[in-house]
Amino acid sequence: MPVLTRWTIRTAMIYLIAGLAAGVLYWANVQWQIAPIFGAFSPTYLHMLVIGWLTQLIFGVIYWMFPIIRKDNMRGDPRLAWAVYGLLNVGLLVRVVCEPWRGLDPNDVNGIGLVVAAVLQVAAGYLFIVVCWPRVRERAGTGTA
């Protein structure tokens, strides 16, 4: 298993726990009005689960399991794949900070932070396609995809 895949899977598991905990706090706050910050965890906890856990887990497994390009270049440029990991996680962490903050106190800083987070995550998605596209190809000699 590539080092990058181990990192993405471990990071995904951290986001799973964090997203579930944030979801519990959000819904407990809906029921009992514990603290205003917990009320601002929606949709942040969903981003942690869908982007941090699910998408990141899928990215890591695809990077590991998709067919290799060539023996001398199995998965393409690893720097690009690490950039995907960095962009996705920095974008998500910026979102995790700015989204609840904006829910409590909308201002230009957290608004710009959300735009930056979205741009980083879109860049990660685009770059992931660049990394994996060459590995999605027809099998030689079979005539099937």
Distance between CA atoms of 48 and 140, rounded to whole angstroms?
39
Instruction: Note the pLDDT of residue 143.
Output: 57
What mean pLDDT is reported for the chain? 94
Residues 34-82 pLDDT 10s: 999 999 999 999 999 999 999 999 999 999 998 888 888 888 899 999 9
Query: Distance (Å, rounded) from C-alpha 15 to C-alpha 32?
Result: 25
Tell me the domain boundaries of the chain: 3-135
Identify the pLDDT of residue 67. Answer: 84
pLDDT value for 144: 58
Q: What average pLDDT does this structure show over 110-121?
A: 98
Q: What is the pLDDT of residue 142?
A: 58
Alpha-carbon dihedral angle through residues 110, 113, 118, 123, given to the nearest 10 degrees: 180
Furthest CA-CA distance within the chain: 63
The pair phi, psi for residue 12, each rounded to 5°, is -60, -40
pLDDT at 141: 59
Determine the pLDDT at residue 74.
Answer: 86
Partners of 70 in beta bridges: 73
Rounded to 5°, the CA angle 28-17-11 comes to 150
What is the reported pTM? 0.91
CA-based nearest residue to 77, from 66, 69, 88: 69
Q: Of the ranges 37-46, 50-59, 93-102, 129-138, which one carries the lowest mean pLDDT score?
A: 129-138
